Amino acid sequence: MGKFQHHSRFPKQKHVQAFRFPFVCFGCRKSFKLPVSTGSRLCPQCRRPMEMLSRKFSAPKSADIAQWKKVQFLVEHGFRFYSVYRNVESGGKQSVRYPTTLAEAKDFVVVFREQAHLPAATDLF
Ligand SMILES: [Zn+2]
């Protein structure tokens, strides 16, 4: 247990709200922009835990099941829409575009598996 900290030492609510991230619910196929949370956030509609993704993520339409399946597949493999890079011949790195279909995603997670952000075991609780 850490030392008790007076509440005034925590960031002000207004400041925290400036950093909103997309939290997605794969059950409802919806994205909610919410402040970062250390604990898991529950979907306001179905109360299931949501996944926090990069701010670069833009949600497909909720009726677009194929796109949501692709997103879920990527997230399950540790790709939360943070930048992924590949080495280029000149020696530099180039950011890679995320796959547009589930079939492409299946190759993507293999090719770039070293850049996956899988949660640490302690994040699962
Ligand atoms: Zn939901």
Residue 62 tokens read as: 């909720």
pTM passes above 0.85 = no
CB 7 within 8 A of CB 13: no
53 Cα: distance to centroid of ligand 1 (angstroms):
15
Burial zone of 50 (CB within 10 Å; 0-12 exposed, 13-18 middle, 19+ buried)? buried
Structural domain includes residue 124? no
24 Cα: distance to centroid of ligand 1 (angstroms):
8
pLDDT of the chain, 125 residues: tens digit per residue: 556 666 555 555 555 556 899 999 999 999 999 998 778 899 999 999 999 999 999 999 999 999 999 999 999 999 999 999 999 999 999 999 999 999 999 999 999 999 998 765 544 44
CB 49 within 8 A of CB 24: no
28 Cα: distance to centroid of ligand 1 (angstroms):
4
Structural domain includes residue 35? yes
1 Cα: distance to centroid of ligand 1 (angstroms):
33
Q: How many CB atoms lie within 10 A of CB 118?
A: 12
Structural domain includes residue 55? yes
How many structural domains is the chain composed of?
A: 1
Structural domain includes residue 2? no
85 Cα: distance to centroid of ligand 1 (angstroms):
31
- Structural domain span for residue 94: 18-117
Q: What is the DSSP letter of 39?
A: S
